[in-house]
Amino acid sequence: MTTHKTIEKRPFGRTGHMSTVTIFGAAALGAVTQAEADRTLDLLLEYGVNHIDTAASYGDAELRIGPWMAQHRKDFFLATKTGQRTYDKAREEIHRSLDRLRVDSVDLIQLHALVHPDEWDTAMGPGGALEACIEAREQGLVRFIGVTGHGRTIAAMHRRSLARFDFDSVLLPYSYTMMQDEVYEHDFELLLKTCQERNVAVQTIKSITRGPWATTERSRATWYQPLEDQHDIDVAVHWVIGRPGIFLNTVGDIHLLPKVLDAASRFERRPTDAEMKAVVQREHMTALFV
C-alpha cells in the first residue's frame, strides 16, 4: 500500500508505544455506515496513523472498529473510555467495550469526562470506576489507565486526579484560542509540567475549533464549528503539534479528517503568534469554553 508523507511519531508517555502525533479520534465514527468507517480506517493506514481513541459513549464507533480488529489489532494502540462512575457499572461497560471492539484487551482505558467534583469523588472513591479500571489492568484486559475531560476547569481537575492516582495519560482541550485564557493557560502549563516530570502522555482535543456554532444548522458532525480551509487547518494543527511531547486527537468529522492528517504529514515548524492571530482574525475564532 502506498503511504503519504509520514506523520511524526512520539513516545506515548511511559507506555513504550511510539504513537503518531495525530491520534485518531473515533468519535468521528459515531454515526457513520460501516462502509464510511472502512474508508476512514483505510485512510489511517495510508497515513500510518497507529493509535485509535474511542469511547463507550461514541455512538456506534466501537462497533465500526470491531470488524477491523481481527486483521489490524497489531497495527494500533487501542484506547477506549468509560463514562460510568461506579465500580459495577464501569466494569460492565469495560467488558461491553471489549465485546463491541471484538478484542481480548485494549491498551488504554480512560475515565471519560471526569470534570464535575461530585462525579470525581464517586469515580475516584471506594467502589468507584477507578477500581474497575485497576481490576481490568490486573486481569490483563487493559494495560494502562488514563483520564479525560473538557472545559475550562479540566486542567486543574487533571492535576487533582494525578495527585490521587498515577494515571498513564490525560486528555484535554488545547488550542491557540484556549491558551489566550490566562486561567486555563496557567492550569494547562502546570499540568503539562507535572505530566512531563512523571512521563504521563498528554493528548489534546479541539485543535481546529473555530468556536461554538452560531446557528442551529450544523454542516459538520462536530459539536463545535470547525475550521474548514486547508491553510487555516494547517496553521492550527501545526501550532498544536509544534509543542514537543503533545498529541493531537483528530476531528470528530470523517470529512475533515483528511485535511487534518494532510496538515500533520506536512508539519515542519510551529506557526508564529502573528500567523496564528491572522487566522484567528480572519476566521473570527473564539474560545469554546468561557
What is the structure's pLDDT at 3?
A: 52
What count of residues does the chain have?
A: 290
Q: Which residues contact 130 (CB under 8 A, 6 or more apart)?
A: 111, 123, 124, 145, 165
In this structure, what C-alpha cell is assigned to residue 166?
498515577
pLDDT at 101: 98
Residue in the block written with cell 463491541: 100
Residue of 134, 46, 58 whose CA lies nearest to 90 = 134
CA count, 13 A, side-chain hemisphere, 277? 4
At residue 288, the 3 state secondary structure works out as coil
- At residue 290, the pLDDT reads 66
Q: In this predicted structure, what is the pLDDT of residue 274?
A: 97
Which one-letter amino acid corresponds to residue 277?
K
For residue 44, is it left (φ>0), alpha (ψ between -120 and 50) or beta?
Answer: alpha
How far, in Å, CA of 206 to CA of 270, rounded? 17
Cα separation, 288 vs 56, in Å, equals 24
Residue with cell 475564532: 285
Q: What is the pTM of this model?
A: 0.96
In the chain, where are the structural domains located? 9-283
Helices (H), 73-178: 87-101, 117-124, 129-138, 154-164
pLDDT on residue 289: 77
Q: How far apart are CA 260 and CA 25, in angstroms?
A: 11
What's the pLDDT at 58?
A: 97
Burial tier of 290 (Cβ tally within 10 Å: 0-12, 13-18, 19+) = exposed
Q: pLDDT value at position 219?
A: 81
**CATH number for the segment(s) 9-283:** 3.20.20.100
Mean pLDDT by 10 residues, the chain (290 residues): 76 98 98 97 97 98 97 97 98 98 98 98 98 98 98 97 98 96 97 98 95 81 88 98 97 96 98 96 86
Please state, as a whole number, how many other Cβ atoms lie within 10 Å of the Cβ of residue 26. Answer: 26
